[in-house]
């Protein structure tokens, strides 16, 4: 494993992302048009681990992060390189560093179209498309009463959703959800006293992101999303989902959230997405890095 990569006339080495000034990371993401604010970088560094590619005077040319989920999975994100470094193979080098550090774990990520060919050559397999809905919430249609009760869940009650989330996400990501709950509003759907689904909302990139949303079926997912969307009328909202068509996707369109971009969910090792009938499913992502 190469410990450094040569770009033009200088060498880059890997440095722990926790040691790098947040504003340098913000400049990196802003330089490629990504929306992450300094506060978003700070949060992600509290949740996960990462490296940056720096030169001998501390200039940042790239980043990559991974987020341990359960005992044997890590999601990968924030794989960013400057155009000059990308052309010299820095993106591949960063991913090789990540895979070495996560060699005992299965991996999952959401690839941009530009990065998709690289991940294929690294052994990742395509699983699904993510549709990034974004817009000003113009109207929220009237819905019938939910099959159960909807209520806000305090951060200290986040343990209530663990079983539901494991069934939907596939592994126990309780630590990540606990961190998310600290900066999110969480709605929970209960039936007969049992959690049947939940949805979180938080500030990210200058707007509000609704996700994750985990529910048994479209109707429950719609009720959970609408709970947040009603509170966000007149505001910019983003929801990332793998639902291309159907009632849930229709609701987002009705509320004024159009698909602006798509990414591709990929995995290396065990298959990441395993949907079962009449079981919880992740209708909206927590984020592209957290999945």
Contacts 24+ apart (CB under 8 A), 177-182: 179/43, 179/46, 179/47, 180/47, 180/212, 180/286, 180/290, 181/153, 181/155, 182/155
Range with the poorest average pLDDT among 4-8, 134-138, 180-184, 249-253? 4-8
> Is residue 56 very low, low, confident or very high in pLDDT (cuts 50, 70, 90)?
confident
Query: Residue 12 half-sphere exposure, CB side, CA atoms within 13 Å?
Result: 27
To 10 degrees, the CA torsion angle through 150, 153, 157, 160?
30
Token pair, residue 134, equals: 């974004």
Looking at residue 127, what is its pLDDT? Answer: 98
pLDDT at 4: 62
Residue 2 confidence class, pLDDT cut points 50, 70, 90? low
The whole-angstrom separation of Cα 21 and Cα 17 is 9
Residue whose structure tokens are 């048009």: 33
> What integer is the mean pLDDT of 272-286?
95
- The answer to whether the beta carbons of residues 169 and 203 sit under 8 Å apart is no
Whether omega before 212 lies within 30 degrees of 0, making that bond cis, reads yes
Q: How far, CA to CA in Å, does 62 sit from each of 32, 114, 118, 223?
A: 11, 15, 15, 40
11-50 per-position pLDDT tens digit: 889 999 999 999 999 999 999 999 999 999 999 999 999 9
pLDDT at site 84: 78
Query: Residues of the chain with pLDDT > 70: what percent?
Result: 96
Averaged over 233-237, what is the pLDDT? 98
> Two tokens at 4?
């450094």
Max intra-chain CA distance, the chain: 66
175-185 pLDDT, tens per residue? 999 999 999 99
Q: How confident is the model at residue 57 (pLDDT cuts 50, 70, 90)?
A: confident
Nearest by Cα to 5 from 66, 61, 59: 61
Q: Minimum mean pLDDT among 3-17, 21-35, 207-221: which range?
A: 3-17
The reported pTM is 0.95
- The H or E element spanning position 79 is strand 73-81
Look at residue 249 and tell me whether its pLDDT is greater than 80. Answer: yes
Q: Give the mean pLDDT of 180-203.
A: 97
- Write down the pLDDT at residue 273: 98
pLDDT in the model for residue 5: 60
**Domains in the chain, start-ordered, CATH in brackets?**
4-104 (3.40.630.30), 132-284 (3.40.630.90)
Alpha-carbon distance 23 to 26, whole Å?
5
Q: In whole angstroms, give the CA distance from residue 288 to residue 291.
A: 5
Q: 159-170: per-residue pLDDT in tens?
A: 999 999 999 999
Among 264, 6, 290, smallest CA distance to 110 is for 264
CA distance 32 to 285: 22
């Amino acid at each position: 494993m190469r410990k450094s990569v040569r770009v033009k006339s200088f060498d880059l080495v890997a440095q722990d992302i926790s040691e790098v000034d947040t504003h340098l990371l913000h400049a990196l993401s802003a330089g490629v048009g990504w929306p992450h604010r300094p506060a978003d970088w700070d949060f992600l560094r509290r949740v996960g681990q990462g490296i940056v590619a720096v030169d001998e005077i501390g200039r940042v040319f790239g980043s990559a992060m991974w987020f341990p989920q359960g005992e044997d999975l890590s999601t990968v994100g924030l794989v960013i390189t400057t155009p000059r470094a990308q052309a010299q193979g820095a993106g591949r080098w960063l991913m090789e560093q990540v895979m070495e550090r996560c060699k005992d774990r299965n991996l999952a990520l959401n690839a941009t179209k530009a990065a998709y060919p690289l991940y294929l050559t690294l052994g990742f397999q395509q699983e699904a498309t993510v549709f990034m809905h974004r817009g000003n919430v113009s109207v929220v249609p009237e819905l019938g009463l939910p099959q159960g009760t909807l209520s806000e869940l305090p951060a200290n009650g986040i343990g209530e959703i663990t079983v539901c989330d494991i069934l939907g996400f596939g592994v126990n990501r309780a630590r990540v959800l606990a961190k998310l709950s600290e900066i999110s509003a969480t709605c929970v759907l209960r039936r007969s006293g049992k959690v049947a689904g939940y949805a979180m909302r938080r500030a990210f990139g200058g707007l509000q992101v609704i996700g994750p949303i985990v529910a048994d079926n479209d109707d429950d997912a719609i009720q959970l999303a609408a709970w947040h969307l009603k509170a966000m009328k007149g505001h910019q909202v983003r929801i990332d989902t793998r639902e291309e068509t159907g009632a849930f996707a229709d609701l987002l369109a009705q509320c004024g959230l159009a698909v602006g971009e798509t990414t591709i969910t990929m995995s290396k090792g065990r298959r990441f997405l395993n949907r079962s009938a009449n079981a919880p499913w992740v209708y909206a992502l927590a984020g592209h890095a957290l999945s």
